[in-house]
Amino acid sequence: MKNVPYILLYILLLALWSILFYNFFVPEKGGFAMLLLLGAAVFFSGIWAVLASLSHKWIGWKGYGMLLLPPVILIVFILGVDQTTFKYALGLTAISELVSLVKIFFYRRKLLRN
């Protein structure tokens, strides 16, 4: 239950980024384009969640080590996608980094209070 606010923040920021990207960067607008953007967000989030859980389980990374995962995923996106898709993945990476930093900040603040 303690992770629910961060998950909700992540979902809210993903939806906001998808809407902004659709309105300003998508070359061909249509009803299917928004579904593709949301599907890409779910795909990126799934990759990030799997890598985060595996690195936490195998390597024991916590905190700042987790901030390395989204840029690694972004490097994979550089290799095989066009410029528009890369911009979308860059926004998703920024959102995941922001939510991770917020979570780390509030966790450290909680430790300092105790």
pLDDT, tens digit, for every residue of 94-111? 888 888 888 878 877 766
**Rounded Cα distance, 76 and 114, in Å:** 40
**Rounded Cα distance, 108 and 40, in Å:** 32
3-state secondary structure 12-75: HHHHHHHHHHHHHCCCCCCHHHHHHHHHHHHHHHHHHHHHHHHHHHHCCCCHHHHHHHHHHHHH
- Does the pLDDT at position 76 exceed 80? no
pLDDT, tens digit, for every residue of 42-74? 888 887 777 776 766 666 656 666 677 777 777
